[in-house]
Amino acid sequence: LLLLPFAALLLYRYNATFHYFCKVAFFNCWIVAMATLLSPFASLRGRSVENMKLLRAAILPLKHFYGIKMQVWGSEHLNIKEPYVIVCNHQASLDLMGMVEVIPDRCVPIAKKELMYMGTVGWACWLSGIIFIDRHKREDAIDVISQTARTMRRENLRVLIFPEGTRNQDKTMLPFKRGAFHLAVQAQVPIFPMVISPYWDFFSSKDKKFTSGTCTIRILPKVETQGLTPKDVPELTETVRQAMADALAEMSASRRGDQRAEQAPLP
């Protein structure tokens, strides 16, 4: 029994797979623990977007624990007082760290409804005003989009959505679902594309790799929706997706160039 901690330490240091699972387990345990601790305080205010500040404060320290450096480009684009929609590529649970790095005040994500039933995590998310959507019931999803569009204007609310709809660690983005763009058009608010650089140099669920590294987040200039109608949504969706795909490709190429420069022998 005395040797078990020593054996675990050796495995953590020298076995990449064990190292990966330990870090993932810590990430999940941290989220559950923080949700459990913060829920009583959040419940004093009731369901409110202001409780997102508590969740953000709870998740922000994780980057220090994992040795992940965050670089944010274009955050000044979000410094406007009006409501808007942020659309972001979705790679892994680590996106939470990128999200809290840039998420502005009075901004909530749209999440799958299943999250609401995940114990204290779901309770904390509900108290923070996170909007839940049932992806399997189209009519219910449309109704949520319509209600959210009205709320955005009435309460000066910002909304963050992952339009790919699921996690994707491929080199290219998945086709975008149109809910975020229908929401922006209905509310007549601008869209801000947000691109998180690939994690492949420090994280991969496929290869069971989780080390320290640098994550770059790029906020692109806003895309206006004033005057657009539902007929314009397909073209709007593709325009935003292409801009984000181009930014992702540029960031990926830059990252590979940086890695080659670091590995090159000194003259």
pLDDT digits (tens, 9 = 90+) for 115-145: 999 999 999 999 999 999 988 888 888 899 9
Average of per-residue pLDDT across 149-170: 91
Asked whether the predicted pLDDT for residue 259 surpasses 60, the reply is no
- Consecutive H or E run containing 8: helix 3-14
Between 182 and 2, the more confident residue is: 182
Decide: helix, strand or coil at residue 205.
coil
Q: What is the pTM of this model?
A: 0.90
Decide: helix, strand or coil at residue 192.
strand
Residue 9 · residue 22 · CB < 8 Å: no
Looking at every residue in the chain, the average pLDDT score rounds to 90
Average of per-residue pLDDT across 48-77: 94
Cα end-to-end distance, the chain, whole Å: 51
Residue 168 has a pLDDT of: 84
Please tell me the distance from the alpha carbon of residue 75 to that of residue 117, in angstroms, as a whole number: 33
Asked whether the predicted pLDDT for residue 258 surpasses 70, the reply is no
- pLDDT-above-70 percentage for the chain: 94
**CATH 1.10.287 at 2-263, yes or no:** no
121-155 in b/e form (b: 16+ CB < 10 A) is bbbbbbbbbbbbbeeeeeeebeebbeebbebbeee
The predicted-structure confidence for 67-92, as pLDDT tens digits, reads as follows: 999 999 999 999 999 999 999 999 99
